[in-house]
Amino acid sequence: MKKFLALIALVSVLSADSFELGMQAYEDEAYAKAYKLWEPLALEGHVEAQRNLAMLLEDGDGITQDAQKAIYWYEKAAAQGDINAQLVLAMSYCYGDGVTKDLKSCANWAYKAKEQGENVAILVQEFDLQVYR
C-alpha cells in the first residue's frame, strides 16, 4: 500500500511539472511543445490541460486548427466545472462557432457558468435563453 501511495504522489508531482513545463512552452510560443506536454495530462483528466489544449486547437497556434477537437476538449473541461470552458461552449453554441447552432446547449452551458457566479445576463437576453431553462 505504501508503494502505491508513493507512486500516486510521484505521478501527481510529474503531472504538475509537465503542466508547468507546458505553460512555460506556451509563454515561449513553443505551442507544439506545449500541446505535447498537455495532451497526456488532458487524457488523464487534468482540467486545465484540457482547456488549454482546446484553446490551442481553436486558434491553431503551432498545431493544425481543429474546431471539432477544440469543442471536445472544452466539453471535457466544462463537464469538470471549468467556468471558462463553459462560457466558450455557451457562446460557441449560441453563435454556431465551430458547432451547429444549438440554443438548448448554449443555455445549458451558460446556466452552468451562472451557477458559479459568472454574469451571463447579456447572453441570456440576446438569445432568450430563459425559455430553455
Give the DSSP letter string of 27-96. Answer: HTT-HHHHHHHHHHHHHTT-HHHHHHHHHHHHHTSSS---HHHHHHHHHHHHHTT-HHHHHHHHHHHHHT
SS3 68: helix
pLDDT at 5: 38
**Are both 115 and 129 inside the same structural domain?**
yes
Number of domains composing the chain: 2
pTM listed for this prediction:
0.85
What b/e readout covers 95-106, taking b as 16+ CB neighbours within 10 angstroms?
eeebbeeebebb
**Are both 12 and 54 inside the same structural domain?**
yes
9-35, pLDDT tens digit by residue? 434 445 678 999 999 999 999 999 999
**Are both 87 and 69 inside the same structural domain?**
no
pLDDT at 93: 97
**Are both 53 and 32 inside the same structural domain?**
yes
**Are both 61 and 101 inside the same structural domain?**
no
- By the 8 A CB rule, do 75 and 89 touch? yes
Cell representation of residue 8: 500516486
pLDDT at 62: 87
Q: With a cut of 70, list the residues of the chain below it in pLDDT.
A: 1-15
pLDDT at 36: 96
The whole-angstrom separation of Cα 110 and Cα 32 is: 31
